[in-house]
Each structure stands twice: as C-alpha cells, then as structure tokens.
Amino acid sequence: MKLTILSMAVSILLFTACNNGSKTTNNSVGGIDSAKTEVAHTEADIRTASTKEVISAYLQLKNALAKDNDKDAAEGGNNLVKAIGNVDQASLTVQQSKVFKDISDDAKEHAEHIGSNAGNIKHQREHFEMLSPEIYELVKAGDKTGQKFYYVNCPMYNGGKGGNWISETKDIQNPYLGKAMLNCGSIKEELN
Amino acid sequence: MSRVTKGFMFLLLVLMFIQFIQPPRNKSRQASRMDITRVFPVPEKIHGILKNSCYDCHSNNTRYPWYAMLQPGGWLLASHIKKGKQELNFNEFGSYSRRRQQSKLKSIANSIKDETMPLSSYTLIHRSAKLSQTERELVTNWLEQMRYSLL
Ligand SMILES: [Cu+2]
C-alpha cells in the first residue's frame, strides 16, 4: 500500500515536472516578447527604427553565411527577428509600408528558423534563399539612407537552380557556397 | 522482496499510472474550407502520398497508431503534432498569405529533398511513410509547378 501511494506521488511529481517543462518553453517565448517590448520602449529606438535595421541585420547574416559561420548566422537571424519586430510602421513611406506589410510575417519566420538552426548551415541557407527576394523588395521600395546595394545571383547554388542575395559591396562574397566558391556570382541589378 | 524487485515493481506502477494521462486527440470531423485541395489542384496520387506520410503531424486529423495508447509514446506524438501543425497544416493551407504559401511549398520541397521529413523517429515505426526516390521526385516536381502558378 505504501508503495502504491509512493508511486502515485512520484507519478504526479513526474507529471507536474513535465508540465513545468512545457511551461518554461512558453516562458522563454514570453521572454523574447518582453525583451522586444523593452527594446521598443527605449525612445531613441522608436525614433530610429526603420527598415535600416532590418537591412543591416540581413547583411550581418549574409556575411556570416559567406564565412560558413552558422553561429554568427544564427545571431544575425535573431537580430533580424528583433529588427522586424521593432520597425515603426508610421516612419515608413507609403510604398515601404505596403511592401513591409506584405513580407514582414514571412521574413520573420525565415529569420526565426535561421536563428534556431545553428549547427545546420544547409538549412539556414535554404531559408536565406527564400528570405533574400523579400529583402530585395524592401530595399527596392527605397530607404532614406540612399546607400547603394547590389542584387547578386549565383547560378550554381542548389544544383543549378541558383540563388540571389543583396550585397552592400560590389565585391562578391557568396553566402550560399561560402569558402567552397566564394567568388561565384554576378551583379544583376544596382539598387538606389 | 529484494531491492531490485521492489524497484522494478515501483517502475511498473509508475508506468501503469501514467497510462491514465492521455493527451487530447487531434481529430476534427469537419471538412476544412481552407484545405490545400481548395487552393491547388492536387492529383489523387500526390494527395495519397501526403496523407500517408505527412498528415499525421501536419493536418487536423491524425490516424492514431497503437503506441499512441501507450504513454509516453502518445505524449511524444502529441508534441510532434503540436509543433508540426504550427509549422505547416495542410488543412489550413488556404488561410496562409500568398507569400507564406510560396515559402511553404518551397520548404516542403526542401524537407523532402533533404529527407528531413517525415521525421526519422516516425518512419522507424511507420515504414510505409518513408518516401521512395520516385515519390520524392513526383511530389517535388508538383510542388515546383504549384509554386510557379503563384508567381
Ligand atoms: Cu526551417
């Protein structure tokens, strides 16, 4: 009898332990959220939040992939998630805002997957390939900095299907093939 | 009773007890208005492959296997279904934005090409869910066509 009671007690304990487990994962999600709102609350951030941060997080990610660095790429992905969340829609032009509304959810999802896939650079690159045309549209919608960007294509990625990316320099550093073929790619379009 | 027998009995009791904690089932009797078949023409053969290999975790209806009755097997399955449906739900495909639909079609093709889906822990038991080379090509070609139709 003692044994039964004991085992029941332990099972209940186990069960609640499991529940706690799932709760903590929820909390961690909440944690990200609250971190986000915290960032959003600093006033300087609100004023400067624009597509600029989004693009710079994308470039950080791109450069990490060109170096075959999955950990830095994950960090870039996480920064991109934050940057997208921080964009103050009121600061955008009509055209930018239209594009941003269209891409933000999907781009955020790609960035989340890149952020959570350190150790799997192949998968990070798959999401990067889907993300790049979205960032392209955002850049094309115009940004106030007037910085020049380049839309680059490498025909060799993905068994000859090819892949595109946005670069801040004319110098070609391939984020899909990395060191294996760093200079593969040609500029398709100059932006701004 | 020796220590070992006691320990064993104890474990058995715990196992028996946890059988009472059944996760809720993923069963919807309603035909979804947002089903992927409402968005794209899905050939019978492709639909069959998806249903057999993916729908247990990526739809509103799971065909529950025997081990779902046994805990913690059912818990594991339930967690796969929860995460799987968040990523992709074939029964809700029509509710995704056009852009998300495009991304999902590509992600599905990627996951099939890379053989990361169906999950290997699943095909271990569900041998028939494993895709053959021809099935993989059939589905990925179709996905590509559908993606172009959205461009
Ligand atoms: Cu992913």
Q: Tens digit of pLDDT for each residue in A178-189?
A: 999 999 999 999
Number of domain units in chain B: 1
B13 CB-contact burial (10 Å; exposed 0-12 / middle 13-18 / buried 19+):
middle
Phi, psi of A163 (to 5 degrees): -155, 150
Q: Between the ranges A126-130, A144-148, A159-163, where is the mean pLDDT highest?
A: A126-130
Distance A118 CA to ligand 1 centre (A): 11
What's the ipTM?
0.88
Residue burial A103-138, b: 16+ Cβ < 10 Å; e: rest: bbebbbbbbbbbbebbebbebbbbbbbbbbbbbbbb
pLDDT attached to residue A166: 97
Q: How far is CA A116 from CA A66, A76, B15, B22, B26, in A?
A: 18, 11, 34, 30, 27
Looking at chain A, the whole-number percentage of residues with pLDDT higher than 90 is 62
Average pLDDT, chain B: 94
> CB of A128 within 8 A of CB of A109?
no
pLDDT attached to residue A142: 79
- Radius of gyration for chain A, computed over Cα atoms and rounded to the nearest angstrom: 21
pLDDT at A24 over 70: no
Residue A15: list chain B partners with CB under 8 A. 18, 21
The domain limits of chain A are 47-191
Q: Is the CB of B97 inside 8 Å of chain A's CB atoms?
A: yes
> CB of A115 within 8 A of CB of A77?
yes
pLDDT at A57 over 70: yes
Average pLDDT, chain A: 80
Nearest to B91 by CA among B147, B28, B134: B28
Q: Between the ranges A32-41, A89-98, B102-111, where is the mean pLDDT highest?
A: B102-111
> CB of A54 within 8 A of CB of A134?
no
pLDDT at A172 over 60: yes
Which positions in chain A have a beta carbon within 8 angstroms of at least one beta carbon in chain B?
3-4, 6-8, 10-11, 14-15, 18, 102-103, 105-106, 109-110, 122-123, 126, 130, 134
Distance A114 CA to ligand 1 centre (A): 7
pLDDT attached to residue A50: 78
Distance A9 CA to ligand 1 centre (A): 40
**How close is the nearest chain B Cα to the Cα of A62, in Å?**
19
The DSSP element (H or E) to which B83 belongs, if any, is helix B73-87
Q: How would DSSP label each residue in chain A?
A: -HHHHHHHHHHHHHHHHHHHHHHHHHHHHHHHHHHHHHHHHSHHHHHH-SHHHHHHHHHHHHHHHHTT-HHHHHHHHHHHHHHHHH--GGGS-HHHHHHHHHHHHHHHHHHHHHHT-TT-HHHHHHHHHHHHHHHHHHHHT--TT---EEEEEETTHHHHT-EEEEESSSS---TTTGGGGTT--EEEEEE-
CA–CA dist A29, A191 (Å, integer)? 37
CA–CA dist B15, B70 (Å, integer)? 9
> CB of A136 within 8 A of CB of A164?
yes
For chain B, the helix, strand and coil percentages under 3-state DSSP, each to the nearest 5? 65, 0, 35
pLDDT level of residue A143 (50, 70, 90 thresholds): low
pLDDT at A144 over 70: no
Query: Per the CB < 8 Å rule, is B99 touching A103?
Result: yes
pLDDT at A26 over 60: no
Nearby residues for ligand 1 (ion, Cβ within 5 Å): A 113
Query: Per the CB < 8 Å rule, is B14 touching A14?
Result: yes
pLDDT at A171 over 80: yes
Residue B103: list chain A partners with CB under 8 A. 106, 109-110, 130
pLDDT attached to residue A4: 42
**How close is the nearest chain B Cα to the Cα of A47, in Å?**
29
Query: Per the CB < 8 Å rule, is A7 touching B13?
Result: yes
Choose the closest CB to B103 out of A14, A102, A130.
A130
Q: Which residues of chain B have pLDDT under 70?
A: none
Residue from A126, A135, A161 whose CB has the most chain B CBs within 10 Å, to mutate? A126
Residue with tokens 């929820």: A26
For B47, the token pair is 């639909």
Quick count: other Cβ atoms within 10 Å of Cβ B90?
A: 23
Residue B13: list chain A partners with CB under 8 A. 3-4, 7-8, 11
pLDDT at A30 over 80: no
Quick count: other Cβ atoms within 10 Å of Cβ B38?
A: 12
Query: Per the CB < 8 Å rule, is A102 touching B114?
Result: no
Average pLDDT over residues A155-184: 94
Residue B90 CA from chain centroid, whole number: 10
